[in-house]
Amino acid sequence: MFPLPRGREGAAVDDVSFDVGRGETLGLVGESGSGKSVTALSIIRLVLPPGRITRGRIELDGRNLLDLDEAAMRHVRGRRIGFIFQEPMVALDPVYTIGYQIAETLAVHDLARGDAAKKRAVELLAAVRIPDPARRAGEYPHQLSGGLRQRAMIALALSAEPALVIADEPTTALDVTVQAEILDLLREMRRVFNLSLLLITHDLGVIAEMADRVAVMYCGRIVEQAPVAGLFASPSHPYTRGLLASIPGGAPGERLLAIPGTVPGLGNLSPGCAFAPRCPNRFEPCDIVPPGVTAIGPDHTLRCYLYGPATDQTDGSREATDRRSLGGAGQVRGQAASHDTAVREPT
Amino acid sequence: MTPLVDVKHLVKEYPGRGNWFRKSAPVRAVDDISFSIAPGETFGLVGESGCGKTTTGRCLLRLIEPTSGEIRVKDMDVRALSAAALRRARRHFQIVFQDPYSSLNPRMRVGDIVEEPLIIHRLGSREERRVRVRELFELVGLDSAATAKYPHEFSGGQRQRIGLARALALEPSLVVADEPVSALDVSVQAQVVNLLLDLQKRLGLTYLFIAHDLRLVRQICDRVAVMYRGRLVELAPAERVFAAPAHPYTAALLSAIPKLQPGQKLERIPFDGDRFQALPLREVEPGHWAAVT
C-alpha cells in the first residue's frame, strides 16, 4: 500500500500469489507501473516507507518471511535470496573493489574470511567467466564494461549460494549481444547452483528463452499465469494477447497491433478490471468488480470474465499441483500490497 | 531518382585519451561512411551502443560538426552552409529524440513547445500559429485542448507525440528519429510506430530511423545499414539483411535477438571483435552491400 493525495491509499501490488519451485524459473512480465519490481522488493522486505506490506504471506522453505525480525531478515537477504538489479553501476559500491565486495558478503554470512574469502571471490569471478579474474577482483566497478559489471553482480548475488535469485530486468541496460551472453550465463549458473530464479522483465523474448512458467502482471495484479509454452501458444487474457501482438515481427511495412490507451495511474484505477478501459473484449461485468481467478487448464490461470465468473479471490488453485514439484525447498509464495515509482498519466 | 540525402566519406573524430604531456591518436566515432536515402524512404541505421549511429544522425543535421566528408540534403551542401543559412535550412530536416522526458522543456507549456519553431522561423501571425499548433496536436493524435498543459502532465508515449508535433511544425522533408520508441513500453511503442508510419504516408516524409531494436527495424524500414565501431559493415534492403546477412557481425547480432518461441534451440553465432577488419563495402548481390572480402 502507498499513500495517495487526499488521504487515500493505493495498492501497487494487490493480491498477488505465485510460487517458485526448486530449480525453476518463474518469469514475471509487465510494463512499467505493473508492480513487478515492488513485488520483488516485497519478497525481501525492502519496500521503503511510506510503502508497506499490509497483508499476505511470503514463504521461503515454509517459513513466513513477514514474521522474521530485521536481524533474521538480513540473514535471508544475500544468504538465502540473492538479488540482481538492472543497473550494476548503481547496485555495486563504487568505492570498493569488486573482489572486496564479494569477500565482504562471504564474511558477513560467516562463509569465509581473510585469504579464503579472497580466493573464493576470484573463483566466483572465474565462474561467471570474467577473464583474468585475479586482476579484475582488484578493480573498481567503473573500470569494468557494462557486461562485465553485470557478471560481477551475478557473482556477488551467487556468492552466498542462495536458494532463490531475484533478477530484476538483468539485461535491460545491455546491448543485445551482451544480453545474449548474460542470459547464457544465467542459464549455466541456474544449472550449476540448482537455482530457483524469479526473472522480472518487460521483454517477452527474454521470457521465452529463460522461463519455465510465466506470470503476467498488470496494474498490481497477476492477470495470467501459465507454463511458458502454453502462454506463447495460446495467450488467453486480452492483455497478454495484446502484449504479444504489439511486438514487431510482422511483414515489412505492416502496421503494428497496438493496445490503445496507457497504463492507468495508481490513483485512478477502474473499480472493476484494471485493464477494462483498454480491453477490446470489455463487457458489462468488467467495470464493476475485479474478476477473480479462473483456471482454464493445467497450471493455467487468469483473471478475466471472458473465462467465466470466478468465485475464488486468490490464486490458490495452483497450490495443490505445485506442492509436489517443490521438493520441499525454494518455495516463495507471496501476497502483498505496496507502491511503485513509474511515471504516470496525469491524474 | 535523385536521393534526398547523400552522405559521402563522413568522418567524425574525437580527441583521443591522451594527457597534458602526451597526445594520443584521435578516436574515429564515425569512420568513412557513405550512404544515400531516397525521398519517402525509411532508412534504418542499427548497431549497438557506441557504434556511432547517433553521431552519424547528428552530423547529418550538423548538431555535431563532422570532421570531414560530404553531406547533401535536398541539393544543399550542408557542410558549406553558414550559421544563418544552416538555421534556415533546418526547416527541412528535423530530429526526434529518444528520451521524451529530457527532450521537452519542463517549464514550457506544450503548446508553446510546438509553436516555438514557427516563431523562430517567423512563420504566420499569432492567430495562424495557434491554429497550426492545434492542427499539429490533432495530427499526432493528441487532444488539441491540452496545449496549455506542461510536459509532466503527459505519459511517455504522449510526450513522444509532442516531440513529433514540434518536429513536424515546419513541414520538414527529412526526420531523423533517434531511438524514438526505445524508452517506451511495448504496448505504447506500437502506437507511436504506427503514428510514424501514418504520418509518413500522409506527409511523404523521409526517415532516418536510428534504432537498436532489430525486430522493429525489420518491420518498418525499407533499407537497413548496420554499423560497428564507426564503420558501415552492411547495407541492404531490410528483408535481405535479415534473410541473408553477409557480414559476420550482422549474423552475430541477429542470432543474439531472443526468439519468441519457447523451447527453440538457441544458435548463437559468436563474433570476435579483435579480428574485425575495416574493409570497404562490396556489392554481394544487387543492392546488397557488405564489408567483406
pLDDT score at A325 = 31
Q: Which chain A residues have a beta carbon less than 8 Å from that of B253?
A: 176-177
What SS3 class is residue B54?
Answer: helix
In the predicted model, is pLDDT for residue A309 greater than 80?
no
Q: Which chain A residues have a beta carbon less than 8 Å from that of B183?
A: none
Give me A198's grid cell.
524469479
In the predicted model, is pLDDT for residue A316 greater than 70?
no
**CA A222, B193, B213, A170: dihedral to nearest 10 degrees?**
-30
Task: With cut-offs at 50, 70 and 90, classify the pLDDT of residue A262.
Answer: confident
Q: Who wins on pLDDT, B240 or A91?
A: B240
In the predicted model, is pLDDT for residue B64 greater than 90?
yes
Mean pLDDT of B216-240: 94
- CATH code of B11's domain: 3.40.50.300
Task: State whether B219 and A249 contact (CB < 8 Å).
Answer: yes
Which of B153, B193, B239 lies at the smallest CB-CB distance from A256? B193
Q: Which chain A residues have a beta carbon less than 8 Å from that of B158?
A: 262
Tracing cell 464493476 back to the chain, one arrives at: A288
Answer whether A27's CB lies under 8 Å from A228's CB. Answer: yes
Strands (E), chain B: 5-14, 27-37, 42-46, 68-73, 76-77, 93-96, 174-178, 206-211, 223-228, 231-237, 282-285, 288-290
Mean pLDDT of A229-242: 93
Give me B192's grid cell.
507511436
Count H helices, E strands: chain A?
Answer: 12, 13
Task: State whether B212 and A260 contact (CB < 8 Å).
Answer: no
Answer whether B136's CB lies under 8 Å from B20's CB. Answer: no
Give pLDDT tens digits for A157-187.
999 999 999 999 999 888 898 899 899 999 9
Q: What percent of chain B has pLDDT over 70?
A: 100
B21: containing domain = 5-92+172-290
Nearest residue in A to B191, CA atom: A258
Which of B158, B194, B268 lies at the smallest CB-CB distance from A255? B194
Size of interface A-B (CB pairs under 8 A): 124
Regarding an ipTM greater than 0.90, the answer is no
Q: Which chain B residues have a beta carbon less than 8 Å from that of A256?
A: 189-190, 193-194, 219
In the predicted model, is pLDDT for residue A328 greater than 50?
no
Answer whether A277's CB lies under 8 Å from A265's CB. Answer: no
Give pLDDT tens digits for A127-166.
999 999 999 999 999 999 888 999 999 999 999 999 999 9
pLDDT score at B22 = 77
Domain ranges within chain A, ordered by starting residue = 10-80+164-248+264-333, 93-161
Beta bridge partners of A17: none
Task: State whether A246 and B263 contact (CB < 8 Å).
Answer: no
In the predicted model, is pLDDT for residue A322 greater than 60?
no
pLDDT score at B185 = 83
Give pLDDT tens digits for B4-54.
999 999 999 998 877 777 778 888 999 999 999 999 999 999 998 889 999
Give pLDDT tens digits for B89-129.
999 999 998 888 888 999 999 999 999 999 999 998 999 99
Task: State whether B258 and A246 contact (CB < 8 Å).
Answer: no
pLDDT score at A326 = 30
d(CA A88, CA A149): 6
Q: Which chain A residues have a beta carbon less than 8 Å from that of B219?
A: 248-254, 256
Give pLDDT tens digits for A100-118.
999 999 999 989 888 999 9
B269 occurs within a structural domain: yes
pLDDT score at A342 = 27
pLDDT score at A61 = 86
d(CA B58, CA B54): 6
Please name the residues in contact with B46: beta carbons below 8 A apart, sequence gap of 6 or more.
B53, B210, B211, B212, B214, B217, B224, B225, B226, B227, B253
Q: How many residues are recorded in chain B?
A: 293
d(CA B179, CA B154): 19
d(CA A162, CA B154): 42
In the predicted model, is pLDDT for residue A329 greater than 70?
no
B54 occurs within a structural domain: yes
pLDDT score at A310 = 53
First to last CA, chain B: 30
Give pLDDT tens digits for B268-280.
898 888 888 889 9
Mean pLDDT of B163-184: 92
B81 occurs within a structural domain: yes
d(CA A56, CA A150): 32
pLDDT score at B61 = 93
In the predicted model, is pLDDT for residue A327 greater than 70?
no
In the predicted model, is pLDDT for residue B66 greater than 90?
yes
B200 occurs within a structural domain: yes
Task: State whether A256 and B190 contact (CB < 8 Å).
Answer: yes
Give the pTM.
0.85
Q: Average the pLDDT over each of A194-203, A338-347, B36-45, B176-185 and give the range with the smallest value.
A: A338-347
Which class for A333: exposed (0-12), middle (13-18), buried (19 or more C-beta within 10 A)? buried
So what's the architecture of A10-80+164-248+264-333 in CATH? 3-Layer(aba) Sandwich (3.40)
Task: Please state, rounded to an integer, the average pLDDT across all residues of chain A.
Answer: 84
Task: Please state, rounded to an integer, the average pLDDT across all residues of chain B.
Answer: 91
Which of B101, B185, B190 lies at the smallest CB-CB distance from A202? B185
